Amino acid sequence: MNVETTVTESVVRHHLQAFLDQKPVAAIVSDYDDDALFYSEAVIYRGKPEIHGFFENFIAALPARAIERFALRSLRVDGNIAYITWCIGSDIPLGTDTFVVANGKIVSQTFAMYAAPAQ
């Protein structure tokens, strides 16, 4: 494993741990570069303030006890790119993110998830 891969994995794991520890959104966003881009299906969020807003809304919209049920299904890292798949029980059976890390910060991320229809 090269140094770049190690740094990328460390940044992504730190980011995930801040989310799982239910730290304030500012702690989750601290891993992003000031000018980072965050791509979702509906919007491209530009910079830390917009990404902060995404996480506030995302966390508020999660089902009850979602973070406790979060499971990281895979983490693949190659150089400065990391790819994860995850789920939150049957409520969100598939989520996926791709991260690009430079100089110890997330500079770009894609995000997609499938939420099961409400029953």
The predicted pLDDT at position 1 comes to: 60
| DSSP-derived 3-state class of residue 75 | strand
Looking at the DSSP bridge assignments, the partners of residue 14 are none
Angle CA(39)–CA(43)–CA(45) in degrees, nearest 5? Answer: 60
| DSSP annotation string for 16-72 | HHHHHTT--HHHHHTTEEEEEEEE-SS-EEEHHHHHHHHHHHHHHHSPTTHHHHEEE
Q: Could you say which residues of the chain have pLDDT below 70?
A: 1, 119
φ/ψ of 35, rounded to 5, equals -105, 20
**pTM for the whole structure:** 0.94
The predicted pLDDT at position 117 comes to: 84
Identity of the amino acid at 107: V
100 near 109, Cβ under 8 Å?
Answer: yes
